[in-house]
Amino acid sequence: MKKTALVCITLLSLNLTACAQLTDQPAKPNISPKITKNNPLTIYQATDIHYLSNTLTDGKKAFKTYLATGDGKQQNYITEITDAFVDDVKAQKPDVLILSGDITNNGEKVSHQEMAKKLADIEKSGVQTFVIPGNHDVLNPYARKFEEGKQLKVEDITPDEFASIYHHSGYDEAVMRDDSTLSYLAAPSEDVWLLMVDTADYENNKRFGAPETNGYISTQTFAWIQKCIDLAKEYDAELVTVTHHNLLDHSELLTKGFTIVQNKEAVSLFAKNDIALNLSGHVHIQDIRSETAHDRTIYDIATSSMAMYPQQYGVVRYTPNQGLAYETQRIDVEKYARKINSKDPNLLHFQQYSKAYFGQFSYTKALSDLFQEGKYAPDDVEEMAKTMEQVNFAYFTGDKRFLNSVEKMPGYALWQKVDSEFMTQYIDYIVTNKSKNDLTLKIPKR
């Protein structure tokens, strides 16, 4: 039986009495979706922007060395890429924008503050924004600025500061918050809710002296997720989950540090509760995977890093009585460059520049690694590096047309002669999956 007390407050000046019923039942969360039932919903998802404030780099030796030893991210133009994306979002006006972690390069406070201002600008245009952190965003001991030949430590942020900085991008509107992480439940529409699951274990960062790459979901957070699922069912809302780390393995060769450690438990829980789609990032490639559990298929879409060629993001469309559809879309950097009257030829022809940048990066890295091994003739090394360049184009962009002629390349035959090499397995794995579609997906309504 519910315990009920009758509280009466006498307002002496008006000689009135107000009475209210108080119960020990917890108040229901405030759920006020901006989009009403049976209306379509468009969601943009960008991930792994790795934004670095211009105030933190002079573009000189230390920064150039950092870029050259990285993984192909084009942070020399990250401000322009990000601003062009903001411009696209404001012009196209999706209902929702999601940033699924690694919003900043290495969690620099000023980078977060600038990104929050850009998101606030998007919010003013009528687009709802929602963010979660990645492994680079919080308590990151690698937060740095680049001056001349030096990397210098700068201020990072705590979990509480992350929620405060991005208060207008999910945390103020949260239907429910997880007490132990930066996870929250959001209801942008009556039909579709977002379960934003923080999988980063940033508490380890200070102890290890480096960003923890693994993703985790604790027992406590699993219990909270179940409460969110139950609430969504009560309101007949479909849940789309969002994580930074991958729910499913996106490569048989690269799983450690990428796939959520408790992914089997998560897949089972999500499938059992008829959650069909998870959006992730972290691995920087464009890849779609599925797994079946409890007679239900669940999909995990790893959208590629926005900081890398071809600077694309995911577009999820919900259509009432039909289901969900996903496709990729590229940022129009060239249009933005014309808008700001840029004279930089790289910006004015950015897709061409970006492709050449990433291709050269892949080629040079493969060339360097092969020469260091000292086992191959110089001409063979060059051909093998050319093959690796094409394979990486297909892997990171998700566009398998890059593989159309790979098996006919001289370098491919040379790679096949190499025994027990990780990179040979890497190439074979990608080429074997050349018919797999990683750019579009349709999930019918269940």
Give a three-class secondary structure readout of 326-338: EEEEECCHHHHHH
Give the residue-averaged pLDDT of 269-283: 97
pTM over 0.85: yes
Q: Is 6 helix (H, G, I), strand (E, B) or coil?
A: strand
Contact in structure between 227 and 269 (CB atoms under 8 Å):
no
**Residue 22 tokens, joined:** 């108080």
Query: Cα–Cα distances in Å, from 177 out to 30, 42, 195, 238?
Result: 12, 24, 10, 18
Q: For 312-350, write each residue's pLDDT tens digit.
A: 999 999 999 999 999 999 999 999 999 999 999 999 999
Q: For 96-108, write each residue's pLDDT tens digit.
A: 999 999 999 999 9
Distance of CA 54 to the CA centre of its chain: 22
* Pairing relationship of beta strands 192-197 and 238-243 according to DSSP bridges: parallel
Cis amide linkage into residue 310, ω under 30° from 0 = yes
Whether the per-residue pLDDT at 374 is higher than 90: the answer is no
Terminal Cα-to-Cα distance of the chain (whole angstroms): 38
Under 8 Å CB-to-CB from 43, ≥6 apart: which residues?
Answer: 94, 95, 96, 97, 98, 188, 240, 315, 316, 317, 318
Q: For 224-242, write each residue's pLDDT tens digit.
A: 999 999 999 999 999 999 9
Q: Is 155 helix (H, G, I), strand (E, B) or coil?
A: coil
Report the CATH fold assignment for 41-335.
Purple Acid Phosphatase; chain A, domain 2 (3.60.21)
Tally the C-alpha atoms within 13 A of residue 226's C-alpha that lie toward its C-beta: 10
Query: In the chain, what are the domain boundaries?
Result: 41-335, 345-433
Closest CA to 166 of 198, 140, 214, 202: 198
Q: For 8-39, write each residue's pLDDT tens digit.
A: 333 333 333 333 333 344 567 889 999 999 99
Pick the CATH number of 345-433 from 3.30.540.10, 2.60.120.10, 1.10.246.180, 3.40.50.300: 1.10.246.180
**Residue 351 phi/psi, 5° resolution?**
-60, -40
Closest CA to 107 of 135, 129, 127: 135
Task: Give pLDDT, residue 252.
Answer: 78
Contact in structure between 421 and 413 (CB atoms under 8 Å):
no
Task: Give pLDDT, residue 329.
Answer: 98
**Residue 103 tokens, joined:** 């919003």
Q: Is 276 helix (H, G, I), strand (E, B) or coil?
A: coil
Task: Give pLDDT, residue 420.
Answer: 61
CA atoms of 6 and 192, how far apart (whole Å): 38
Q: 315-354 burial, b for 16+ CB within 10 Å, e for fewer?
A: bbbbeeeebbebebeebbbbebbeeeebeeebbeebeebb
